């Protein structure tokens, strides 16, 4: 649509903009969706400029380019306060690409909604073989970073409000749950190489995260008292995790080559990743070793070993508070997602109450259900 001017007002594609000069400086910005709204915006903006010029009002901070402030936010806030700042940096790269021609004050809720819509149909660059759309979870993380960025801009006096405050996130599909069965656990540990096996046993026996396990130092492993001290965790708070005899035996058998339990001789520090070895072990973990059609254990992530520990611990009767502390969760709510009541577990609960009501056991009609066991020693 052709633009139409009307004394300091400009109509472009159904939107009205104000356009005027004050003290040799030109002001151009969105005024509203009607001529009346734009006229009101014009009057208000001119009045504010006059108040500032007469000393009645503090001048607003200079509007800044979004990309420039994003870099400032990363350096001054994210890197100084967040261990996960590299994830924020990745999110900011997407935000800067979309808002490259914007200033902080030019971004409103509508533009953020446009960002959501554009990202939803984009294809992930991480997959080279096939076109995989950006996941809702990825977009939600980027929105979370954007909201925090504008909160800081508001706190630092760069903007008057947070345009992302009321923008809703995408609804995410339920998280994928993958709990190893006893047979899969046995096959996985048997298929793992000697360097990987103690890592897997520690993960399955303590629920520790991969990064926590690989960064373990011998000084943090007390094989005598059976405790592991995690000094650097995701939450930033240290915690102590008890070891079973099986975990202690597996770690005790690791050769001591440096300060780290899982030492990397080439770098002189700890092993950074085990993804290649883990995937290979999954492929080798077949029900029948000679079956070429058997793909082994599929759809398993290393983090699922942590899920398996939590699920099995709760299933075997451990109290949720203890499991939550072992995992290092900030709240029991996070641990509760590992609770998966089954017909057998509910029947067992009814049976336990029946025993309480009738200590003699004469009226109990719920048979005792054997609890599953996990014996890592038999997997070696």
| Residues 358-372: tens digit of each pLDDT | 666 555 444 443 444
> What pLDDT was estimated at residue 284?
94
Mean pLDDT of 39-45: 88
Q: Would you tell me the crossing angle of helices 85-98 and 136-155 to the nearest 10 degrees?
A: 90
CB 339 within 8 A of CB 328: no
The domain locations on the chain are 4-53, 66-155, 182-336
353: tokens are 């109450």
* 2: Cβ contacts below 8 Å, ≥ 6 apart: none
List the CATH code of the domain at 182-336: 1.10.443.10
| Reported confidence tier of residue 89, pLDDT bands at 50, 70, 90 | very high
Mean pLDDT of 102-125: 88
For residues 32-49, give the mean pLDDT: 88
Question: Residue 145 burial by CB count (10 A; 0-12/13-18/19+): exposed, middle or buried?
Answer: buried
Confidence of residue 59 (pLDDT cuts 50, 70, 90): low
Which stretch of 18-22, 47-51, 57-61, 156-160 has the lowest confidence by average pLDDT?
57-61
pLDDT above 50: residue 374 = no
Q: What are the phi and psi torsion angles at 163 (to 5°)?
A: -70, -15
Residue 183 has pLDDT above 50, yes or no: yes
CA distance 213 to 303: 12
Q: How many whole angstroms separate alpha carbon 112 and alpha carbon 166?
A: 10
Q: What are the tens digits of pLDDT across the range 190-237?
A: 999 999 999 999 999 999 999 999 999 999 999 999 999 998 766 667
pLDDT, mean over the chain = 84
Global pTM value = 0.62
Own/partner pairs for 249-256, CB < 8 Å, 24+ apart? 249/377, 250/197, 250/198, 250/201, 250/202, 250/205, 250/376, 251/198, 251/202, 251/221, 251/223, 252/223, 253/198, 254/198, 256/218
């Amino acid at each position: 649509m052709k633009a139409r001017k009307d004394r300091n007002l400009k109509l472009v594609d159904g939107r009205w903009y104000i356009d005027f000069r004050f003290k040799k400086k030109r002001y151009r910005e969105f005024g509203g969706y009607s001529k009346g709204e734009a006229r009101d915006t014009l009057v208000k903006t001119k009045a504010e400029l006059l108040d500032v010029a007469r000393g009645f009002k503090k001048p607003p901070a200079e509007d800044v380019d979004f990309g420039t402030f994003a870099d400032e936010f990363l350096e001054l806030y994210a890197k100084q306060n967040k261990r996960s700042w590299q994830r924020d940096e990745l999110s900011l790269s997407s935000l800067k690409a979309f808002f490259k021609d914007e200033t902080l004050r030019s971004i409103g809720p509508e533009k953020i909604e446009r960002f959501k819509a554009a990202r939803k149909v984009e294809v992930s660059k991480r997959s080279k073989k096939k076109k995989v759309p950006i996941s809702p979870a990825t977009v939600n993380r980027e929105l979370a970073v954007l909201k925090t960025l504008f909160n800081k801009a508001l706190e630092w006096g760069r903007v008057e409000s947070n345009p992302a405050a009321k923008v809703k996130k995408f609804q995410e599909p339920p998280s994928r749950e993958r709990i190893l069965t006893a047979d899969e656990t046995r096959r996985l540990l048997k298929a793992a190489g000697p360097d990987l096996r103690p890592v897997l046993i520690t993960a399955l026996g303590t629920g520790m995260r991969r990064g926590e396990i690989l960064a373990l130092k011998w000084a943090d492993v007390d094989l005598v008292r059976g405790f592991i001290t995690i000094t650097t965790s995701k939450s930033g708070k240290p915690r102590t995790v008890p070891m079973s005899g099986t975990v202690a035996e597996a770690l005790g058998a690791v050769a001591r080559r440096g300060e780290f339990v899982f030492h990397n001789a080439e770098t002189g520090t700890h092993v950074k990743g085990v993804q290649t070895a883990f995937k290979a072990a999954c492929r080798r973990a077949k029900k029948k070793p000679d079956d070429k059609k058997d793909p082994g254990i599929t759809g398993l992530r290393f983090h699922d070993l942590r899920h398996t520990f939590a699920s099995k611990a709760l299933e075997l009767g451990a109290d949720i508070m203890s499991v939550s502390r072992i995992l290092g969760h900030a709240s029991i709510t996070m641990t509760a997602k590992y609770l998966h009541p089954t017909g057998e577990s509910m029947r067992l609960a009814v049976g336990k109450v029946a025993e309480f009501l009738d200590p003699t056991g004469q009226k109990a009609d719920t048979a005792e259900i054997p609890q599953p066991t996990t014996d890592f020693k038999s997997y070696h």
